Structure 1
Amino acid sequence: MIRAVIFACLLAFASAQELDIPKLAVKLGATDLVEFVIKANLTSALSGPGPFTVFGPTNEAFSRLPPPIVELLMHNVTLLRDVLMYHVVSGRVYSSQLSNDLLAQSLLPEEKIRINIYKNTKTVVTAEGSPVVLTDQNATNGVIHVIDRVMLPPLGDIPTIVTRDQRFSTLLKAVSVAGLVPTLSGAGPFTVFAPTDEAFAKIPPKTLEGLLADKAKLTKVLTYHVISAAVWAAGLYDGEEAKTVEGSSLTFHIEEHEVAISFGTEGHSRVIEPNVAATNGVIHAIDTVLLPPDLF
């Protein structure tokens, strides 16, 4: 009840006055964002002269966060501040100033927001993979771009993330055997379709053993999982083809916001976890190893 009264007062004030960033966020309906800003003691900072550019998640974006992450943010104010600061850029940055693969320095030291612009069936702008659903909302001390997913700071480059995730132990071994760790640690950007251990387990044991012993074939398979661009799920459209580092193409199918991949002649794989952000690109976990059409 108290929360509702507070936001009603803020909204009434916002309707009658020039709006700073927190008040504009309330008017735009991003009340969960403002609630977290208040809890993190960032209200005064974001009401200050700035100017700031805020990539502001909708209430629906916050509702899609896994409950354990919400619980952690609610009980760790330092972490909450870091996540919120990751959504803020110094200065006024309008949509006309955004460019593909722009790395915008956030207020979180050493953490940058990767901007991507996809011009396929329609233009889609993403911030760290989150679609921008409303641009250029002017506040007295900055501008808000509304996004539909909460951005979490990347936990490292692509090899670091693969190393930390127990689902990818076979992939990590394969990448190490092929000598691709230095390449995938580079600036990129890269998109990696990362098979889980369960995906590798679908390959007959002797075939997998032979593949791990043949560096040339292994490299061919692994580079078939990599695209030399940051391809977030929101940037894909149904039927799109994309060339891999290996040289062959993958075809993407989108149905009810789920992504499937056609490969080779009759192969199919499903993205089971999209948009794992890395400092040098993005990882999509998949349930089947992608095999190039001319591997055997």
Structure 2
Amino acid sequence: MKLSVFLPLVATTATAIVLVEDEVMQQIAIEDHSKQNLFHQIEANLPTKDQIKHTVEDVLQISKNALDDAFDWASNGFSAAEDYFVEEYFDAKNWLACSMEELDHQDHDGPPHHKPGRDRPRHPPHHKPRTSNYTVYELINSSKYTTKLAELINDDADLVKLLNSTETNFTVFAPTDKAFAKIPDHDKEPSKELIKKVLSYHVSAEFYPAGRILVSRTVPTLLEGKYLSADPKDTPQRISTSIGFRGLALNFYSRVVAVDIFGSNGVIHGIDSLLLPPPSATRIITLLPSEFSTLELGLRKTDLFDALNSTTNHLGGTLFAPSNWAFTKLGPKINAFLFSEYGRKYLAALLSYHVVPNQTLYSDAFYSGGSSDVDNLDRHRIPKGQFHVDLPTLLEDRYLSIDVGRFGRLIDVRINGFAHVAVPDGVAKDGVIHGLTNVLIPPKKIGSSYEQYQGEELSVEDLKERLDQFVNDAGESIQEPNRHDL
């Protein structure tokens, strides 16, 4: 097999074509037949030896074909809607588009059991999930829809052993053969190390059936977070999830086309596009000029861009990224001042207030970077309900007060009691990005107390007053991220 389909994964600016399905796949299941009174019928219905043999063979074959059945179902749905398919190119815009789509989807959804409208399908009947005596590896290896994935896994003895292990329940996001066909072919073969990273990014060591994914914003994977902490094994790289009118998607572009194929040691979900390990936070910003060109310009003018882009300076981090609209709301006078030569040091101080080094806060997980200010979280999970944390920024002695409200999939992240995260969980290899529609303004010191900014109109003098104490000719009060601050 020619494995050079993976080459575009190295260059994160490359595009991958995804297909938009009109029908969201439902759970593949079997009927739950009522139990009969065996005590009254056992004597009259004792099976013969051959009957027992054939019954066992039938059950094993049904289990073995569970994955094929799920993809058959998906394939049939695709064929019926083939004329309506739209080809899309994946780029960073999906992070923004899918987040907005998810909000629209939540706003328009009715109650859980509302009556369907005209031409809308009724809810499928509730069934018990189809289970299998085969491991997730055996199911993938025997399926006619995952032959390319199986071939790659079979080249990695450690991964074969892992996916056959019954010590834990795994979750595998299995790209179909059609997913591989979307990647352009190249002459150069990718390294085994690269292939291993990509495959690891499709597997979670935790059990995530569809119901759990639906209430999770991110999912940990086997891919170690090399740039997320000093202990990469403890801070796995994560996949983000989103729900929109086209169903469930991973990392905003890979559509889930079959769910809950249960093996003896985990669950498989079929996906229509390979999951690419994410680029750096600064790279994501550069890929979205329509949203973050002002932020990128500011980071470059103040040399913060290079500092953030260097993984030798920090391990993990959270970037609260104001959109172009957020800067526009400051007004032309403040923007003219900040982007002038004289205002550059104030711009550096302001942007430093948006960067949290060494601590990575997702909307449902937190890699604290060894901070003693946060109690130990169960596998880094942010608990349901209310969660509060004060995050240090690059601006000396200035913290961001973060409140996270979690209620199922509904999550609200509020900063300093005023600003809300508009677009959460832009997963990056060296942290996470949260999109904002407001620029974060440091608090004003009044006597011995501080007054937080609450969105009131600012003048240039007001802004300078808040930033003066952090500004000098050498810019010494602005801290570069330091990985040794862990």
**Is the TM-score greater than 0.5?**
yes
Look up the match of 1:288.
438
Aligned equivalents of 1:48 and 1:15: distance in 2? 27
Q: 1:210 aligns with which of 326, 337, 340?
A: 337
Look up the match of 1:259.
412
Measured after TM superposition, the shift of residue 22 of structure 1 is: 4.6
Look up the match of 1:244.
392
Distance 1:276 1:93, change over 3 A: closer
> Cα RMSD over matched residues?
5.0
Aligned equivalents of 2:156 and 2:280: distance in 1? 34
| Letter in structure 2 aligned against 1:217 | Y
Give secondary structure in 1 for the equivalent of 2:360.
Answer: coil
Measured after TM superposition, the shift of residue 177 of structure 1 is: 1.6
Q: Do the aligned residues in 1 keep the contact of 2:63 with 2:133 (CA within 8 Å)? A: no
Q: 1:276 aligns with which of 410, 423, 426?
A: 426
Distance 1:93 1:202, change over 3 A: closer
Measured after TM superposition, the shift of residue 169 of structure 1 is: 0.5
Summarize the alignment of residues 60-139 of structure 1 with structure 2, pairs less than 5 Å apart: 73=179, 76-77=182-183, 86=197, 88-89=199-200, 127-128=237-238
Measured after TM superposition, the shift of residue 75 of structure 1 is: 5.6
Instruction: Check if 1:10 corresponds to 2:125.
Output: no
Give secondary structure in 1 for the equivalent of 2:443.
Answer: coil
| Letter in structure 1 aligned against 2:405 | I
Look up the match of 2:279.
156
Distance 1:161 1:154, change over 3 A: farther
Identity value in percent: 16
Q: Do the aligned residues in 1 keep the contact of 2:354 with 2:440 (CA within 8 Å)? A: yes
| Letter in structure 2 aligned against 1:253 | V
Distance 1:223 1:24, change over 3 A: same
Distance 1:241 1:161, change over 3 A: same
TM-score by length of 2: 0.40
Aligned equivalents of 1:195 and 1:12: distance in 2? 44
Structure 2: runs of 5+ lacking an equivalent: 1-27, 30-60, 69-129, 164-169, 207-219, 242-261, 366-381, 445-465, 468-486
Instruction: Check if 1:43 corresponds to 2:153.
Output: no
Larger mean CA deviation between 169-178 and 154-163 belongs to 154-163
| Letter in structure 1 aligned against 2:65 | L
Summarize the alignment of residues 164-243 of structure 1 with structure 2, pairs less than 5 Å apart: 164-166=287-289, 167-187=291-311, 188=314, 189-213=316-340, 214-228=343-357, 229-235=359-365, 236=382, 238-243=386-391
Look up the match of 1:67.
none
| Letter in structure 2 aligned against 1:172 | E
Distance 1:272 1:232, change over 3 A: same
TM-score by length of 1: 0.61
Distance 1:78 1:258, change over 3 A: farther
Give secondary structure in 2 for the equivalent of 1:51.
Answer: helix
Deviation per residue, 1:60-93 (Å, 9 max, x gap): xx9xxxxxxx9x94860569xx999655349x99
| CA radius of gyration, larger in | 2
Aligned equivalents of 1:180 and 1:250: distance in 2? 22
Measured after TM superposition, the shift of residue 15 of structure 1 is: 6.3
Q: How many residue pairs end up in the alignment? A: 243
Measured after TM superposition, the shift of residue 272 of structure 1 is: 2.3
Could you say which structure has the higher strand fraction?
1
Distance 1:204 1:259, change over 3 A: same
Distance 1:293 1:93, change over 3 A: closer
Measured after TM superposition, the shift of residue 276 of structure 1 is: 1.5
Look up the match of 1:65.
none
Structure 1: runs of 5+ lacking an equivalent: 27-33, 63-69, 96-101, 118-123, 132-136
